[in-house]
Amino acid sequence: MREYFVQAGYGVRFEWGPAGARHLAPEVAALVVVDVLSFTTSVSVAVETGARVFPYAWRDESAETFARSRDAELAVGRSAVSVRTPWSLSPAALRRAPATPRLVLPSPNGSAIAAPAHGAGAQVVAGCLRNGGAVGRWLAERGYGRRERPVGVVAAGERWPDGSLRPALEDLLGAGAVIAALRGRGCGPLSPEAAMAATAHASCADVAREVGQSVSGRELAEGGFGADVAIAVELDASEVVPVLIDGAFAEAGNSPEN
């Protein structure tokens, strides 16, 4: 892989989707996953309750086996929530559900990025619009975001029906929020890709409105999940920084690097 494809020489870098994460993860000290309208916002909500959240790429029989092996509850699809299975890839459902100490959260986007990145040796962090400022501060205070300890920020995006990546506005803005917070703490230099993501966030006059009117926001609202969008745009409402520790996201206070 040519050095320019991994934005070598920059302290803060930006990429899209699982493929981008696979290329960046071995080249950075920390990797921030951003999946605003599902995975990372749900992780932030669950971790706020004290839960450990295990990422898993697929919601199938193997996920059930994985959850049993971790003595954890398994989140279901948004439309499959019931009294018996109240945990879901829905921030609103997670707020209503009973607290659980261990939760497996399948996601073909955010989870599919997080686990392989952790295996590559990077410190993996879940970022979103709710905690973008906190994530940037936490990383900067620990010396990440410099040439010597670069940070990669990956916008998960969504998927077209054929499985290809659909860049998503909400993830661009969420990534930009983290990058802007890093820049505000003197981190850098920023790659041109990272700088443009930060600029997109800074120049957006009404992030909540634009996310709500985006393709993904409208899709969720029309499906009856507008409450998930409302939680996702609680801008900087959370100081919780979920980091991947021993295969599960937990509050950064439990991290050896805290």
By DSSP bridging, strand 12-16 and strand 151-155 are parallel
Distance between CA atoms of residues 187 and 204, nearest Å: 22
Q: What DSSP string runs through 24-38?
A: HGGG-SEEEEE-TTT
For the stretch 139-181, pLDDT in tens is 999 999 999 999 999 999 999 999 999 999 999 999 999 999 9
Q: Cβ–Cβ contacts within 10 Å for residue 9, how many?
A: 12
Q: Cβ–Cβ contacts within 10 Å for residue 161, how many?
A: 6
For residue 135, with 0-12 CB atoms within 10 Å meaning exposed, 13-18 middle and 19 or more buried, which class applies? Answer: buried
Q: What separation in angstroms does the CA of 227 have from each of 16, 90, 217, 219, 232?
A: 26, 9, 10, 12, 9
Q: What separation in angstroms does the CA of 82 have from each of 38, 92, 215, 225?
A: 19, 13, 27, 15
Alpha helices in 49-90 (DSSP H): 61-69
Distance between CA atoms of residues 176 and 153, nearest Å: 9
For the stretch 107-148, pLDDT in tens is 888 988 997 787 778 999 999 999 999 999 999 999 999 999
pLDDT in tens, the chain (258 residues): 689 999 999 999 999 999 999 999 999 999 999 999 999 999 999 999 999 999 998 777 899 999 999 999 999 988 889 888 899 999 999 999 999 999 999 988 898 899 778 777 899 999 999 999 999 999 999 999 999 999 999 999 999 999 999 999 999 999 999 999 999 999 999 999 999 999 999 999 999 999 999 999 999 999 999 999 999 999 999 999 999 999 999 999 754 444
What is the model's pLDDT at position 121? 84
CB contact at 8 A, 16 and 23: no
Neighbouring C-alpha atoms within 13 Å toward the C-beta of 225: 23
Of 252, 234, 242, 241, the C-alpha closest to 130 is 234
CB contact at 8 A, 16 and 165: yes
- What are the structural domains, with CATH classification, of the chain? 7-251 (3.90.1560.10)
